[in-house]
Amino acid sequence: MDPDLKSYLTSALTVMIISTILVLVFTDFAIEECILPLVSIFALYPLVILSLYMFLEGKNYRWVNGMDWEAMTEQGRINAVSYWGAYMLVGSIVMIFAINIMLGYMLFGIFLIILGVIIMMIPVVRRETAESKQFIARPKGTKVALFIAVTLLAMVPAVGLAGAEMTSDTVIVEFTDEGVHISAPMVDRTFKYDEIEQLELDPNFDKGKRLIGYGTPYICSGTFKNDALGSYTLMSYTKVKPCVFFLYGERYFAFNQLTDELTHQAYEELLSKVAKG
């Protein structure tokens, strides 16, 4: 193995181990919250470092398909590899950021993934430019500084956003004269007070499993199923355990608010409204 490549990979492995430990700590080992950061660390960060290696060293052209490498001069191959590495580097960093915001901002995340792919494809449509773009040899100090900067750009989204409450989705509960209006992603209903039955507050509500609907580390909304209620409609914050549930018509509904205290307040308010009819 090329000594320079070995140095890059050894440093990258150290970063990956430290980053993994930090992600697990920040997410309290919650698999649904750490899966995307870990994908970034183990799938995309190595691509970032290999791209940086290509950009700074101009080596290992055999990693790249779609170019007639044999027709190039040695200097032409070095130029082209460095050119490819630069665009792959930028594109892969964009994709790391995209993956780590997907659960909170899905459309923007998808846009960034597409943007990252487009950036990576630029050398494919500009092959002649790739060969003629003069490679610049950089001193070791500059390479180390770039490695640190690139690592921070790649790992801050993966580690820094792990476990963060990053979503614009909410569960909205509004008490009107006619009834209580509850809205969440994929659910938006008004319940008349005099038709609500079996109203209860469960401080340790088992949300069960999702059948159809919306499920992220932040919001659970849609059709769920648990042992107590069977198939029911849920509108809740994922990390908040208490839930208010009730029978409406022939179906159970459950909801909560951003905190335990706010959930209790919503329950007391709804209980008062239902009692008055």
For residue 218, name the pLDDT band (cuts at 50, 70, 90).
confident
Distance CA 223, CA 277 (A): 27
* pLDDT higher than 80, residue 59: yes
Q: Tell me the pairing of strands 243-248 and 251-255.
A: antiparallel
Q: For the range 205-208, what are the long-range contacts, defined as Cβ-Cβ under 8 Å and sequence gap of 24 or more?
A: 205/241, 205/242, 205/243, 205/245, 205/254, 205/256, 207/234, 207/236, 207/238, 207/243, 207/254
Mean pLDDT of the 56-68 span = 80
Count of domains forming the chain: 2
Write out pLDDT tens, residues 157-193: 888 766 555 556 789 999 998 899 999 988 999 999 9
Task: Tell whether the torsion through CA atoms of 177, 179, 184 and 186 is positive or negative.
Answer: negative
Domain boundary among 160, 180, 203: 160
Distance CA 28, CA 47 (A): 27
For residue 225, name the pLDDT band (cuts at 50, 70, 90).
very high
Does 120 share its domain with 196? no
Does 14 share its domain with 140? yes
* pLDDT higher than 70, residue 66: no
Does 218 share its domain with 136? no
Residue 166 covered by a domain: no
At residue 161, the pLDDT reads 65
At residue 167, the pLDDT reads 56
Write out pLDDT tens, residues 236-270: 998 899 999 999 999 999 999 999 999 999 999 99
For residue 195, name the pLDDT band (cuts at 50, 70, 90).
very high
Write out pLDDT tens, residues 3-41: 888 999 999 999 999 999 988 887 776 676 778 888 899
Residue 36 covered by a domain: yes
Domain boundary among 133, 160, 187: 160
Does 92 share its domain with 113? yes
Who has greater pLDDT, 25 or 141?
141
Domain boundary among 160, 190, 210: 160
Does 139 share its domain with 41? yes
Does 186 share its domain with 153? no
Does 117 share its domain with 38? yes
Q: Percentage of residues in the chain with pLDDT exceeding 70?
A: 93
Does 31 share its domain with 82? yes
Does 249 share its domain with 269? yes
Give pTM, 2 decimals. 0.66
Contact 234, 169 (CB under 8 A): no
């969440």: which residue's tokens? Answer: 184
- Structural domain that includes position 18: 3-160
At residue 256, the pLDDT reads 97
Query: Which string of DSSP letters, residue by residue, matches the chain?
Result: --HHHHHHHHHHHHHHHHHHHHHHHHTTT-HHHHHHHHHIIIIIHHHHHHHHHHHHH---GGG--SS-GGGS-HHHHHHHHHHHHHHHHHHHHHHHHHHHHTTT-HHHHHHHHHHHHHHHHHHHHTHHHHHHS------HHHHHHHHHHHHHHHHIIIIITTT--------EEEE-SSEEEEEETTEEEEEEGGGEEEEEEETT----EEEEEEE-SSEEEEEEEETTTEEEEEEEETT---EEEEEETTEEEEE--SSHHHHHHHHHHHHHHHHH-
Please state, rounded to an integer, the average pLDDT across all residues of the chain: 89
At residue 242, the pLDDT reads 97
At residue 215, the pLDDT reads 75
Residue 165 covered by a domain: no
Does 228 share its domain with 117? no
